[in-house]
Structure 1
Amino acid sequence: MPELPEVETVRRGLNAHTCQQRICGGTVLLNRSLASPAHANDFIEGMQGQSIRTWHRRGKYLIAQLGEDDSCDRLGPTADGWLGVHLRMTGQLLWCHPEDPLEKHTRVRLFFEGDRELRFVDIRTFGRLWWVPPHTSPHTVMTGLLSLGPEPFSPEFSSDYLISTLANRRKPIKTALLDQTIVAGVGNIYADESLFLSGIPPTRLCSQLTPDEIDRLRQQVIDVLSQAIEAGGTTLRDFRDVTGINGNYGGMAWVYNRNGQPCRQCGTPIARIKLGGRSSHFCPSCQPDPKTP
């Protein structure tokens, strides 16, 4: 948390509020929130005077193109650089007035012309920010971008791709869905939801899935993420959009965080197990686990 729908919700909010806004300064309240550059002065001075052109999302990363150039569809070098953000577990970006009360866990403040500011708030302090200098590709500074698999909504996330990728993997399908090198942006919540709607238990080995099951799962991943984006993401504890509004998908969830509650389809109590150190929620009746051949 946040996962792709939450990050996409934040991206849309940032594009609605911060674009064409000029950064006139800032302050770093917790230096380890900066991934690059290491020094707060370099981070703030690198962006000072630049406007935000547009925000992109890649997996769970947010990347803002800086400057006045035409919008860039790919994350390549630009004349004015980039601002990168990874929210990790509890990060938030909030669009505020400077006189608004300062949240206890505010880590970075960026001041904009017009008496507004963008605050990076992070309780657990795992989130990170990057300034990518001019004429530099974000991938060379935000190196985590290099290992990401295809976006769920992209043509690259095809049935053929997923079938060939999963065919020989002897790991649980839930674990595979959380692997960002296989598909970018899917996390614990939406993996559970997609598996439920596909009728596949989280413990099923990838190599045991039929092509039809994989194709069905791929479509459910796309559909579940789309529905969650339309609902503004999921708020369980910390997630808020840039104006402080909670997401609404949690109340619609089929299985996630519903341990012991009746399945919305068959009434069987939802079960929860630990898988790879993460909680997995599923319906034992709707997602039967066949014996290993």
Structure 2
Amino acid sequence: MPEMPELETIKRSLEPHIKGRRIDDVELLLSRQIKHPSPEEFVSRIKGQRIRELQRRGKYLILVLDNHIFLVIHLRMSGQACYCGPNDSDRKHSRIIFHLDDGARFVFADTRTLGTIYAMREDELSMINGLAELGPEPLSDDFTIEYLKDVLSGKKGKIKSFLLKQNYIAGLGNIYVDECLFLAGINPLRTPDSVTGAEAKKLHACINKVIEDGINDGGTTFRDYRDGVGGKGSHQNNLYAYGRGGQPCRKCGTIMEKIKVGGRGTVYCPKCQKLK
């Protein structure tokens, strides 16, 4: 699933092409991926409106239209939000096509059809549970060391699973959680409440670092992820932990171990991330 760096890259790459453009028509090829309102009302709310602003919240891409309708896109596992120029071929697995006033298209494509899309009034945004319940994001003013210490305090379970919960920290997924835990030297099986104040400070810095590095590299591409103009990310070339089970640790040379935590594949170094 695309995480915060991927969604931020998609937003930035789309902005020069679709911001300010008018949506002249909407082509529904798989209307069941529209979760609200009805397909007919979805088209009615969007058709003829200009894209005033592009936003991102956690793993959600949001297009704000002139009539104050929020087009909310959650890509989930294999979704793509992409720009196709007037002379570009149609994107594979296109599900909803927004025809723009310059002859170009903004396309919601999805191989596995797990993504969702909404056209919401501002007072309806709270209906999207995942969006309404998001916690603060890395790199934001609200994501402070004190905030992280507070939310870790008293929490049981596994810290890997804790960091994946979007109501605590928005935008982190499997890739960047493995990365930040590795850089912070924290074993994924530890409980959140076992993290010391000094470790929390380091973890906070590492979370911000892996997200910033991911954005600077244009995201991580293993299979489906592409930016808004079809480009691949390069952060997969700079990973320390994710996807490196059975390979030597890039810090100490110990073979990285792959386990499952909360049903999610997890890679860590048994030497650099000792279980305390």
Amino acid in structure 1 at the alignment position of 2:7: V
CA contact (8 A) 2:248 2:256 kept: yes
Q: How many Å separate the matches in 2 of 1:139 and 1:47?
A: 16
Query: Is residue 112 of structure 2 the alignment partner of residue 113 of structure 1?
Result: no
CA contact (8 A) 1:25 1:45 kept: no
Identity of aligned residues (%): 41
Q: How many Å separate the matches in 2 of 1:243 and 1:194?
A: 28
Report deviation, 1:38.
Answer: 2.4
Report deviation, 1:99.
Answer: 5.1
Q: Which residue of 1 aligns with 2:37?
A: 37
Q: Secondary structure at the match of 2:240?
A: coil
- Poorly superposed stretches of 4+, deviation over 2 Å: 97-104, 136-144
Amino acid in structure 2 at the alignment position of 1:11: K
Q: Which residue of 1 aligns with 2:254?
A: 268
Q: How does 1:82-97 map to 2 (within 5 A)?
A: 82-97=70-85
CA contact (8 A) 1:82 1:138 kept: no
Normalised to the residue count of structure 1, the TM-score between the two structures is 0.91
Structure 2, unaligned stretches of length 5 or more? none
Q: CA-atom RMSD, angstroms?
A: 1.3
Alignment counterpart, residue 170 of structure 1, candidates 156, 159, 162: 156
Report deviation, 1:138.
Answer: 5.2
Q: How many Å separate the matches in 2 of 1:114 and 1:211?
A: 54
Q: How many Å separate the matches in 1 of 2:51 and 2:250?
A: 44
Query: Is residue 32 of structure 2 the alignment partner of residue 46 of structure 1?
Result: no
Q: How does 1:66-105 map to 2 (within 5 A)?
A: 66-67=65-66, 79-97=67-85, 100-105=88-93
Query: Is residue 142 of structure 2 the alignment partner of residue 143 of structure 1?
Result: no
Q: Secondary structure at the match of 1:137?
A: helix
Amino acid in structure 2 at the alignment position of 1:35: K
Q: How many equivalent pairs are there?
A: 276
Q: Write out per-residue CA displacement over residues 27-46 of structure 1, whole angstroms, 9 at most, x where no aligned residue.
A: 1111111011122x221221
Structure 1, unaligned stretches of length 5 or more? 68-78
Q: Which residue of 2 aligns with 1:73?
A: none
Q: Secondary structure at the match of 1:266?
A: coil
Q: Which residue of 1 aligns with 2:217?
A: 231
Q: How many Å separate the matches in 2 of 1:138 and 1:216?
A: 38
Report deviation, 1:144.
Answer: 2.2
Alignment counterpart, residue 114 of structure 2, candidates 126, 130, 138: 126
Q: Secondary structure at the match of 2:26?
A: strand
Q: Which residue of 2 aligns with 1:204?
A: 190
Normalised to the residue count of structure 2, the TM-score between the two structures is 0.96
Q: How many Å separate the matches in 2 of 1:14 and 1:46?
A: 21
Q: How many Å separate the matches in 2 of 1:143 and 1:273?
A: 30
CA contact (8 A) 2:14 2:229 kept: no
Query: Is residue 156 of structure 2 the alignment partner of residue 157 of structure 1?
Result: no
CA contact (8 A) 1:18 1:52 kept: yes
Q: Which residue of 1 aligns with 2:180?
A: 194
Q: How many Å separate the matches in 2 of 1:217 and 1:80?
A: 38
CA contact (8 A) 1:50 1:80 kept: no
Report deviation, 1:209.
Answer: 1.0
Q: How many Å separate the matches in 2 of 1:252 and 1:38?
A: 43
